[in-house]
Amino acid sequence: MTDRIVLRRPDDWHAHLRDGDMLATVAPFTARQFARAIVMPNLVPPVTTAEAAHAYAARIRKAAGPGFEPLMTCYLTDASDPDAIERGYKEGAWVAAKLYPAHATTNSAHGVTDVGKIAPVLERMQRIGMKFLVHGEVTDKHVDIFDREAAFIDRTLARLVRDFPGLKIVFEHITTKEAADFVAAAPANVAATITPHHLMIDRNAIFEGGIRPHLYCLPIAKRSHHRTALRKAAVSGSPKFFLGTDTAPHAVHAKEAACGCAGIFNAPVALEAYARVFDEENALEKLEGFASLFGPAFYGLPPNEARIALVRANATAPERVPGPAGDIVTYLGGQALGWRIEAA
Ligand code: DOR
Ligand code: ZN
């Protein structure tokens, strides 16, 4: 049995770091585990301009401390302008742009109502090599919530992949066998991130003994066989699948409510959770590729030089983290983690 593994320091290719006092609370948790993070732009108001992205990056650096690099993203709207997107990319304001279908999830009201409207933007991104990050769910309320990701592939993503063959696309936080199969079969310019929670829970977990608001996120966890397919993809060694936690903190009152927010705060325990999954799959030797190599390769960045060690240990996840508007409940809070991170 392997009790200690050394990895290049990993990065988080999908994180919600929020802003203001919440940013100050949560950013150190991400920075403790990861050298870089792709930062989601769904603030209020969303990050749509290069100026806003530069200013947000500076606030993140201050909150996270030295040694952490935020990789910024631009929130796409129906009005996004190809010239402004390119300018922001060239001046280093952002490395990618994010598609939120309008009303798909938290703070997505300004999102894109019809991908046809951003075709000129996608054309430009394809030309300059800027990454396109996709929240892949249809927003049609007539489609069952558990089918919205698969429907998005059929109605939208398959066509985008066909129409923009040179566009580097990340299908974010995939939750279904359909998505894993689609990405595996797609050309090399299409990749996916997978969260720790979607590797661990299925939809039963959300209703175990009562409703569990802290396991509610979007896309929602699916049936068990989808989790099995995601695990298989994560440990496959394919460079198309890499780490993206989708850590998405909300104060406890916003989660435990008549209409609770979607999002799971996993930043304090994400890497340990991935290690547990890879260990259960007898694939610890595949963790470094997934966590530390395939993401940088897809983004055209060097992997980190620093190393960390994951050590088998009796560590327990913190139940809650005190935040500015009340506690934030931690994913796996109070549970045995099985692993601890050490400097290597
Ligand atoms: O569960 C989620 N929470 N899914 C998202 O897409 C957004 C995120 C958030 O910002 O809270
Ligand atoms: Zn997200």
Distance CA 89, CA 86 (A): 5
Quick check: CB of 330 below 6 Å from ligand 1? no
Residue pLDDT, tens place only, 119-137: 999 999 999 999 999 999 9
* pLDDT at position 61: 98
At 341, give phi and psi (nearest 5°). Answer: -95, 135
Residue 106 has pLDDT above 90, yes or no: no
C-alpha of 2 from chain center: 28
- Say if residue 104's pLDDT is above 90: no
- Point out the ligand nearest to the CA of residue 172: 2
Stretch among 7-21, 29-43, 102-116, 300-314 having the lowest mean pLDDT: 102-116
Report residue 175's pLDDT band, with 50, 70 and 90 as the boundaries.
Answer: very high
Give yes or no for residue 131 CB within 6 A of ligand 1.
no
Percent of the chain beyond pLDDT 70? Answer: 100
Residue 144 burial class via C-beta count within 10 angstroms: exposed 0-12, middle 13-18, buried 19 and up: exposed
Instruction: Calculate mean pLDDT across residues 1-29.
Output: 97
Average pLDDT, the chain: 97
How far does residue 2's CA lie from ligand 1's centre (Å)?
35
What single letter denotes the amino acid at residue 219?
A: P
How does pLDDT run across 199-211, given as a tens digit for each residue? 999 999 999 999 9
Average pLDDT over residues 76-87: 98
pTM for the predicted model, two decimal places = 0.98
Task: Please classify residue 85 by burial: count the beta carbons closer than 10 Å to its beta carbon, then call 0-12 exposed, 13-18 middle and 19+ buried.
Answer: buried
Interval 54-81 mean pLDDT: 98
Which residue has its alpha carbon closest to ligand 1 atom 10? 106
**Length of the chain measured in residues:** 344
Ligand 1 centroid, distance to 93 Cα (angstroms) = 23
Ligand nearest to the CA of 264: 1
Distances (CA, A) of 138 to 66, 102, 103, 149, 219: 39, 9, 10, 7, 10
CA–CA gap between residue 247 and residue 33 (Å, rounded) = 12
Q: For residue 139, how far is the Cα from the chain centroid?
A: 19
Q: What is the DSSP letter of 106?
A: T
pLDDT for 1: 82
Task: Find all residues with CB under 8 Å of 135, minimum gap 6, and list them.
Answer: 98, 99, 100, 101, 104, 105, 108, 172, 173
Gap from CA of 40 to ligand 2 centroid (Å): 7
Helical segments of 129-236, H only: 148-152, 158-163, 177-185, 196-200, 224-234
Ligand nearest to the CA of 170: 2
Evaluated on CA atoms 111, 113, 115, 118, the torsion sign reads: negative
- Assess whether the C-beta atom of 263 lies below 6 angstroms from ligand 1: yes
42 lines ligand 1 (CB under 6 A): yes
Q: Measure 286 CA to ligand 2 centroid, in angstroms.
A: 24
Residue pair 143/130 in contact (Cβ under 8 Å)? The answer is no
Kindly report, residue by residue over 213-254, the tens digit of the pLDDT.
999 999 999 999 999 999 999 999 999 999 999 999 999 999
